[in-house]
A and B are shown apart, each in its own frame.
Chain A
Amino acid sequence: MVRTTTGRAGILLLASVTVLVVAAPVVTAAGTELRIGTHTDEGPLTPYGYTFGYPGLQLVRLTYDSLFIMDRERRPVPWLVREYEVSEDGKRWTLRLHEGIKFHDGSDLTSADVKFTYTYMTRHAHAVWQRALRGIEAIETPDPFTVEVRLAAPQPLFALRPLAEVPILPAHIWEGVTDPRAFTDATGSGPYRLAEYRPGHFYRFEAHPDYFHPEWKPAVGTIVMPIIPDATTLFTALRAGQVDMATRVVPPELVEELRQAPGVAVQRGPSFVSTLLQINAEREPFDRVEFRRALALAVDVQNLVDTIQLGYATAGGPGFVHPMSAWLLLPGPEAQYDPDRARSLLEGIGFTDRTGDGLREDPAGMPFKQTILVYADRADRVRAAEILAEAFRAIGLRTEVKAMEAGTVDSLVWPEFDVTKGRDYDLAMWGWSAGIQENPLSLRELVHSQGSLNIGAFSDPEVDQVADRLLVATGIADFGPVVSELARLVADRVPFVTLWYPDGIYAYRPEAYDGWVYVKGLGILDKLSLVTRRVEVPEAAPVAEPPPARQRGWAWLLLAAAAGAAVVLFGLRRARPARP
């Protein structure tokens, strides 16, 4: 019996020592690092290796520079380029680079690198870069700091795409790389150098000490980006001071919570991301404009914004174009909610309720049912789909929601991401990234009958005609009227129902770093947020203090309760007489 007790005591002692050693309070290394919790692993951060536009491409832009940059209002302004001229006919761009631009390995960035990059990217397949560089006839480099680009036709958006879009590669590193997807060296000229990448774990960036820009310098010495896929963990870490910023958009229900959390600040702004109800305009009865109009009239977009987004969104304009878009000259058309008119439209095309069960039959008298497809992992969209189904039932349309894994939905709505491969759906919850709003030419791809993003096979000669006018624009000023006209037409013909544009809401700890700027339509994770108008590399503010001890009281209580329970259990057992 004595031996037993010693044995037990020994184990207890060992266990408590282990706990004490391992569980000593976490010492947050008070360094100069800024800790940005990011929600996805974006792969190797080369222009060919990143995965998503957000946050991947934003991180690529930290390590690489482009000739132009998008300012806070998302207008292209010169960056690597010091000054530039455009010829009278708009076909020749002469770009003069800053002098003394250094890549992270110390070599110079010259016009030869620009020419190499633009040539390399037209030859090596990548959906974004290759398309951006279309229409370039020739590139000349009369001296190391001058680039002359000759275009086949004037491109009024040339500064936006490709100049502000295409990152410049170091020629001496990328020469001879035949498979850019399998190449992982991320040496660039950007304000930060990718110092370490542990897939699935973290990225570490170091400030580029010789950053070329005369005014703008890296704002922070070290940026560490732990990859934290789970939203709960990410925001818990932010609140507990274990990360200083979260790249994930704050979900509406957490905004107030985080605003009130000590040491946490929240920035909110418009985002050009869109959420839509996509319609398969190829399939009966969705090919009838009256039917599509009825669907649009049955939807109360403001109610969706209030219910799903708790008001943190802009209600969708039926013309798709975001009301704050720089391209929209006139105020866009307003969404209308009018179920009665929807009902009469349906009656008008023969959708009536003959059986008296409250649900309409199609003109041939057969029962009608439509299905809304939605990504199963997007809770907000699943909820929206449920509400939409309710709204459609209210105008007498039997509607079913089908939630499936994202890849499966894609394969039905947009097989192989090629609109010529057909489609198999009625309605689908869909969304486009911010970039679509930024380039008016993308709008054409969306609604033109030949457009490569026209995933509903929508076709309307009048829309085609207006959309084609975007192609022949010769100056920036030409786009405004066409975009406004197109938005009006889209609202009338309903290729899809634009539901809402979610707000961009981002949370961070200002005591760690407070230089965040909200870039319109995009958010605060941007190169502009992480460069500062100073000359020397400053020390970042010290890391947040651990949360005050007061907050820990409840956890101790819980522990004590658990310990108490154990003692009681143990004691009870002891109190019993030994077995016969």
Chain B
Amino acid sequence: MRGRLGTRAVQYGVLIFLTVALNFFLPRAMPGSPLAYLAGEDVGLMSAEVRREVLARHALDLPLGTQFARYLGNLVRGDLGHSYQRGRPVAEIIAERLPWTLLLTATSLVLSTLIGVALGAWAAWRRGQSSDLSLLLVVMFFRSMPSFWIAVILVAVFAVGLGWFPIYGAYTPWLVATGWERVLNVLRHLALPVLSLTLIGSAETFLVMRYAMLDVLGEDYIATARAKGLSERVVLYKHALRNALLPVATVFMLNLGFTVSGATVIETVFAYPGLGRLMYEAVLSRDYPLLQASFLVVTLAVVLANLLADLLYPLLDPRVRLSDGA
């Protein structure tokens, strides 16, 4: 037992180190320079001394190896550094955006998973019938639309046409309300972005659920359960659903890790202050500290979620044992 935990710890240690290194070197390997954001707009007019001073202040004049060593040192101390573009501590910037990001992505992940599981199970149960087929078509129809397209259509119909929802932002900036009114305001801003992400996101869960269910439904024990005269509902929910959960849980946990990285396109269209847009802007401005830190957060979240998934498998399906050689 201890040995297995040990190997796993080593595996994850190596993985984390590799990604930290990758997150450090990949942004710096991109062509381009953060100078324009460090020195202001008229960067070309800088004198040589000013240039040296700016580079030195951000330790950009040191050899890469030294910079990396420093970065690791700071990381161990929990110091993520200052953003080049925004001049503020990176940890603060990420902490500010994270709740909005999660509100957006986690809500739609939960919704799309629920919808995907319910519809997927139902479609599998009605396998080969017209309702199965039409569900498949509807779900894939939404999946196949570019996300900005869905978003723009939703805005045109629900925000501009019907005037039900606001077009942009996470809440009304000039709103002085508190309590319920404020919650409602946030929900109203959340509705369309979440709806877009849910429409897009349901497909994968739906498909995986449907196919996994089909596989389970072919099993002998389901036939036995049916033969025993158990109601369809009991067979479906108690037996089949539970056994098909493993792939669905995998998809869910995969997506759960990525909730942290936001949804760049949807955030852009709805002007939502999430991490996706932040990271995208950080890439364009070559904001190394902000990039490193946000990639690190995503890395940790994804790895953690996958680890969690592996630990969950035996709980979902007691017969699954991991890591024993076949």
Contact = CB atoms under 8 A, between A and B. Distances in A.
Contacts of A433: 41
Interface in B118-144: 126, 129-131, 134
Given A183-B87, A224-B173, A240-B167, A200 B273 contact: yes
B35 interface: yes
Contacts of B284: 405-407
Contacts of B156: 236, 555
Name which of B86, B155, B268 has the most chain A CB atoms within 10 A of its CB. B86
A418 B51 contact: yes
B152 to A, nearest CB: 6
B269 A49 contact: no
Nearest to B281: A41
A70 to B, nearest CB: 16
A555 B169 contact: no
A173 interface: no
A567 interface: no
Interface stretch (A23-31, A94-102, A510-518): A23-31
A564 interface: no
Contacts of B170: 201
Interface stretch (B65-73, B158-166, B198-206, B235-243): B158-166
B168 A237 contact: yes
Contact of A417 (B44, B82, B162, B174): B44
Nearest to B232: A579
A330 interface: no
Nearest to A418: B51
A242 B173 CA distance: 12
A547 B163 contact: yes
B1 interface: no
A534 interface: no
Contact of B33 (A179, A415, A551): A415
B186 to A, nearest CB: 10
B169 A226 contact: yes
A126 B163 CA distance: 46
B165 A26 contact: yes
Interface string B249-285: 0000000000000000000111101100110010010
B163 to A, nearest CB: 6
A242 B85 contact: no
Interface string A394-434: 00000000000111101110111111000000000000010
Contacts of A230: 268-269, 271
A571 B38 CA distance: 63
Given A51-B85, A237-B168, A202 B39 contact: no
Contacts of A127: 39-46, 50
Given A22-B191, A31-B174, A559-B157, A201 B42 contact: no
A184 B88 contact: yes
Given A131-B42, A417-B44, A240 B160 contact: yes
Interface residues of A, number: 87
Given A125-B50, A547-B160, A228 B87 contact: no
A44 interface: yes
Interface string B159-189: 1111111111110111100000000100110
Contacts of A37: 168
Interface in B19-58: 30-33, 35-47, 50-51, 53-54, 57
Nearest to A240: B160
B87 A44 contact: yes
Interface string A219-242: 000101011111011001101101
A130 B162 CA distance: 53
Contacts of A44: 86-88
B97 A131 contact: no
A128 B41 contact: yes
A572 interface: yes
A49 B41 contact: no
B184 A407 contact: no
A179 B57 contact: yes
Contacts of A414: 44
Contacts of B269: 230, 232-233
Contacts of A237: 167-168
A445 interface: yes
Interface string A53-86: 1001100000000000000000000000000000
Contacts of A228: 168, 271
Interface in A126-145: 126-128, 130-131
Nearest to A26: B166
Contact of A226 (B47, B126, B173): B173
A546 interface: yes
Nearest to A569: B134
B31 A407 contact: yes
A23 B42 contact: no
A196 B176 CA distance: 13
Interface string A331-363: 000000000000000000000000000000000
A573 interface: yes
A182 B87 contact: yes
A247 to B, nearest CB: 13
A204 interface: yes
Contacts of B44: 127, 414, 417-419, 445, 452-453, 455
Interface string A462-482: 000000000000000000000
Nearest to A39: B271
A555 B157 contact: yes
A554 B268 CA distance: 26
A349 B37 CA distance: 43
A125 B38 CA distance: 10
A201 B171 CA distance: 9
Nearest to B37: A51
Interface string B94-133: 0011000000000000000000000000000010011100
B298 interface: no
B174 A204 contact: yes
A52 B41 contact: yes
Contacts of B270: 233
A233 B271 contact: yes
Contacts of A51: 37, 41, 85
A313 B121 CA distance: 59
Given A226-B271, A410-B33, A579-B129, 9 more contacts: A182-B87, A182-B88, A196-B173, A226-B173, A228-B271, A232-B269, A240-B167, A417-B44, A452-B45
8 contacts: A26-B164, A26-B188, A29-B175, A127-B44, A201-B173, A229-B271, A240-B163, A572-B130
Interface of B: 30-33, 35-47, 50-51, 53-54, 57, 82, 85-88, 93, 96-97, 126, 129-131, 134, 152, 155-170, 172-175, 184, 187-188, 191, 268-271, 273-274, 277-278, 281, 284, 286
Interface of A: 21-26, 29, 31, 33, 35, 37, 41, 43-44, 48-53, 56-57, 125-128, 130-131, 179, 181-184, 196, 198-202, 204, 222, 224, 226-230, 232-233, 236-237, 239-240, 242, 405-408, 410-412, 414-419, 433, 435, 445, 452-453, 455, 546-547, 551-552, 554-556, 558-559, 569, 572-573, 576, 579
Across the A-B interface, the 6 shortest Cβ-Cβ residue pairs = A555-B161, A407-B32, A411-B31, A200-B273, A23-B164, A201-B273
